[in-house]
């Protein structure tokens, strides 16, 4: 195995992990506020198709990202109305969003299925991209890869070093207490949900405009759900999301790895494609095995409806 090959494997792993980081970090913030939004898959799908359509018509990938983000926020607003304002069950509302989003994206995306998009040039970081092996893999990347790193840092800082983050976590741990000392629980939860939606929309945009770049029905292929699992895997800690995301990214490009390694064994392509899903299950089992870990780290009010009193 040559160094170039190693570098390209690393490159592909990072690319495959990036949407997972972005979506999982958004969901993490949502969950830290005590809201379980299972709609990531649907939001990503709609974000992906919106971004693709705008990038296609304007020839501007940046506008595509913005469109994906806006679409993601609109979708998560639907979730917010259902789960926060109308106080519906969060699990059911999230499922509704996923079903709706996957269907809606297939519907509006139909005309774009045969359209190709120019691939977006990579952004080299001066000097760093010249490091052997790591340079081409990490520092001559899609712009959104750097964004995902900045996002991780910003969210980690926000949650654990800022007052607003402290309030957000308080809302997630004990909405009643937060409410009683005057914080608008529903308002803060809305903000968290919208942030999660925006990130899931960007994650979808990354898939359709930067990663593939094309739109096909069902192209999100469970990445939204994997991102949700990642939050559990990371035990609600931002930096651990990154480790998990690259782990899954590695699973997703296993096909390329097997082909490149020149191994003689023939493994059906479907087995390799199933790997990320099986890995998700294994990882969930490993983390959840210890009930204490989950109970200690998950926001105490996660998934529970908050009823603002009269």
Q: Where are the alpha helices (DSSP H) in the chain?
A: 3-32, 40-58, 61-80, 90-109, 134-138, 143-161, 163-173, 175-180, 185-205, 223-233, 238-252, 254-260, 269-288, 291-297
Residue 3 CB, shortest distance to another protein, in Å, is: 33
96 or 241: CB nearest another protein: 96
Q: Would you say 51 and 208 are in contact if contact means Cβ atoms under 8 Å apart? A: yes
Distance (Å, whole) CA 246 – CA 251: 9
User: What residues make contact with another protein under the rule CB under 8 A?
Assistant: 38, 42, 78, 81-82, 86-89, 91-93, 95-97, 99-104, 106-107, 110, 217, 221-222, 225-226, 228-229, 232, 268, 270-271, 273-274, 277-278, 280-281, 284-285, 288-289, 291, 294, 307, 310
156 or 228: CB nearest another protein: 228
Structure tokens at 237: 């800690």
Distance (Å, whole) CA 233 – CA 47: 24
Distance (Å, whole) CA 247 – CA 6: 15
Residue 308 CB, shortest distance to another protein, in Å, is: 9
Match 């603002």 to its residue by tokens.
308
4 or 113: CB nearest another protein: 113
Residue 44 CB, shortest distance to another protein, in Å, is: 14
146 or 277: CB nearest another protein: 277
Q: Would you say 72 and 46 are in contact if contact means Cβ atoms under 8 Å apart? A: yes
Residue 82 CB, shortest distance to another protein, in Å, is: 5
Residue 281 CB, shortest distance to another protein, in Å, is: 5
Residue 306 CB, shortest distance to another protein, in Å, is: 13
Closest alpha carbon to 55 in 119, 147, 126: 119
Q: Please, which residues have CB within 8 angstroms of residue 40's CB and are 6 or more apart in sequence?
A: 23, 27, 98, 196, 200, 224, 225, 227, 228
3-state secondary structure of 141: strand
Residue 90 CB, shortest distance to another protein, in Å, is: 10
Match 């480790």 to its residue by tokens.
243
DSSP state of 110: G
């Amino acid at each position: 195995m040559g160094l170039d090959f190693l570098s390209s494997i690393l490159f592909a792993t990072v690319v495959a992990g990036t949407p997972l980081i972005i979506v999982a970090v958004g969901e993490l913030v949502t969950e830290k506020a005590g809201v379980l939004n299972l709609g990531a898959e649907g939001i990503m799908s709609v974000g992906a198709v919106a971004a693709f359509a705008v990038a296609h018509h304007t020839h501007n990938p940046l506008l595509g990202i913005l469109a994906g983000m806006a679409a993601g926020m609109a979708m998560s607003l639907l979730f917010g109305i259902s789960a926060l304002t109308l106080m519906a069950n969060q699990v059911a509302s999230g499922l509704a969003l996923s079903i709706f989003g996957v269907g809606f994206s297939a519907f509006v995306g139909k005309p774009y299925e045969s359209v190709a998009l120019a691939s977006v040039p990579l952004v080299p970081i001066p000097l760093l991209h010249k490091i052997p092996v790591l340079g081409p893999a990490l520092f001559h990347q899609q712009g959104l890869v750097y964004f995902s790193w900045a996002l991780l840092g910003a969210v980690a800082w926000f949650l654990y070093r800022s007052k607003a983050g402290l309030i957000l976590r308080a809302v997630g741990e004990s909405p009643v207490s937060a409410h009683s000392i005057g914080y608008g629980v529903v308002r803060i939860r809305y903000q968290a949900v919208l942030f999660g939606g925006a990130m899931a929309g960007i994650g979808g945009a990354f898939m359709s405009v930067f990663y593939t770049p094309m739109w096909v029905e069902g192209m999100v292929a469970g990445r939204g759900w994997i991102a949700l699992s990642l939050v559990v895997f990371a035990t609600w800690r931002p930096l651990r999301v990154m480790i998990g995301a690259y782990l899954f990214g590695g699973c997703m490009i296993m096909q390329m790895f097997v082909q490149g390694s020149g191994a003689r064994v023939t493994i059906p392509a479907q087995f390799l494609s199933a790997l990320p899903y099986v890995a998700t299950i294994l990882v969930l089992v490993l983390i959840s095995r210890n009930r204490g870990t989950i109970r200690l780290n998950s926001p105490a009010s996660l998934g529970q409806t908050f009823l603002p009193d009269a």
